[in-house]
Amino acid sequence: MALEGVAEGGTQDALLPDKDVLRAVLEWLPRPIRFLMVGTCGLVSDVGFFTILFAFGLHPLIARAFSLGFATVVTWRLNRHFTFAQSGRHQADEAMRYALVAAAAQGIGYLIFAALALTVFSRLPQIAIVIGAVSVALISYNGQRLIAFMPRSAHAAHPAERSA
């Protein structure tokens, strides 16, 4: 039993789920579900960081810019690890592609947020964050799938990288 190992001087690692089992379960889930799970983590990060910054008196548009940047890093790392297969590109190239797609999709979400946070949801701008994020989820998923994490094909490789 897992608790016996801890009682006998083992580590608490015995109480944690096996990483391979967790990865297998996640890989079994369809990619759109994994994307939504990662997006939910990003949204929680976004709203949480925004709420902290807003509580310290930052203007909602400024607080949102910082929280959106933070959430983008969180979702990039999680999507790269759990949602999409390795593209075969260098991590910096993937990051740049991810940032471009995120900027386009989240730019739309930010405009939705700004319009709502400065009007109907001025007392609770976190609702505007959620509405903006949900509004662009499909755009973001397809952009990340088709641009950021699209596997690099052999014919698109740099001539020096092609095998003879």
Transcribe 91-132 into DSSP letters.
Answer: HHHHHHHHHHHHHHHHHHHHHHHHHHHTTTTSS-HHHHHHHH
For residue 160, the model assigns a pLDDT of 45
Q: Which of 154, 37, 27, 140 is nearest to 84 (CA)?
A: 27
Q: Long-range contacts of range 57-62, CB-CB < 8 Å, 24 or more positions apart?
A: 60/117, 60/118, 60/122, 60/125, 61/114, 61/117, 61/118
Residue 143 pLDDT exceeds 50: yes
Residue 135 pLDDT exceeds 60: yes
User: How confident is residue 84, by pLDDT bands cut at 50, 70 and 90?
Assistant: confident
pTM for the model stands at 0.76
What angle, 0 to 180 degrees and rounded to 10, lies between the N-to-C axes of helices 31-55 and 125-135?
Answer: 150
pLDDT digits (tens, 9 = 90+) for 41-50: 999 999 999 9
For residue 60, the model assigns a pLDDT of 97
Q: Given the structure tokens 């190239």, which residue do they identify?
A: 93
Residue 13 pLDDT exceeds 70: no
